[in-house]
Amino acid sequence: MLPGGESYLMSPSAALVRGQLQEDRKFYYITLLRDPVSRYLSEWRHVQRGATWKTSLHMCDGRTPTPEELPSCYEGTDWSGCTLQEFMDCPYNLANNRQVRMLADLSLVGCYNMSFIPENKRAQILLESAKKNLKDMAFFGLTEFQRKTQYLFERTFNLKFIRPFMQYNSTRAGGVEVDNDTIRRIEELNDLDMQLYDYAKDLFQQRYQYKRQLERMEQRIKNREERLLHRSNEALPKEETEEQGRLPTEDYMSHIIEKW
């Protein structure tokens, strides 16, 4: 399995060569986080149109969860046409706190075995694990801050995108009209994601401010070096003129007289 989820079949010899080439490579985990309410509504619309995650194995500690550990929210081939209320009412819905679940180390809480540890303790462990893994990433971005995300990516990896990122606020989630009670219910269902997102926004701003300060410092150093170089170039012709018009010293004149 290659980065990005691509899979290839190859001969053992080709795999060996590839393995040798990859020994010198350094891989980074990166991710983009999104406002939990918007993300939840977007996933609901996606599922409503017939999307499923049937091909996802949800591997953890070398095995997939049993049907008892991870029941389905629907019967049939998909959950197309489900209402938002039906989507929220399913207690097994993996859309709930998805960002924490996908960032955390599930093996710390017995994977999908909900009886492994008490629910409150499980939630706290998952949240702390997700925060730690997010902090350890060289880069992460926030969907709601596209320009800052681009800036951080470019400064972190010393790369430049051809075009600036665009902040599109018109999304599928944005087209959903929900009342305040529904929003509060979504926030409750995604309480861990809400806490993670607050943490992520704070960490994101810290990283952004640090990179900006570093950039300004580098620019000041560059400007100072350019001024010094400019001054030295301006002084050079004057020094050359002084050298050409300078009279020999007394010792030097005595040496010439004695020699000749």
Q: What pLDDT score was predicted for residue 232?
A: 84
pLDDT band for 54, please (50, 70, 90 cuts).
Answer: confident
Note the Cα 255 to chain centre separation in Å. 75
Sign of CA dihedral 94, 99, 103, 109: negative
What tens digit of pLDDT does each residue of 102-124 get? 999 999 999 999 999 999 999 99
Neighbours of 181 (CB within 10 A): 8
pLDDT at 250 over 90: no
The residue whose two tokens read 């665009």 is 166
Phi, psi of 56 (to 5 degrees): -75, 125
Q: Which residues make beta-bridge pairs with 32?
A: 141
- The Cα 2–Cα 177 span in angstroms is 40
Q: What pLDDT score was predicted for residue 225?
A: 87
Q: What pLDDT score was predicted for residue 20?
A: 55
Q: What is the mean pLDDT of the chain?
A: 85
The residue whose two tokens read 């992520």 is 200
Rg (CA), the chain: 31
- The Cα 138–Cα 149 span in angstroms is 13
pLDDT band for 169, please (50, 70, 90 cuts).
Answer: low
Here the contacts of 55-64 (C-beta below 8 Å, separation 24 or greater) are: 58/112, 60/106, 60/107, 60/111, 60/112, 61/107, 61/111, 63/111
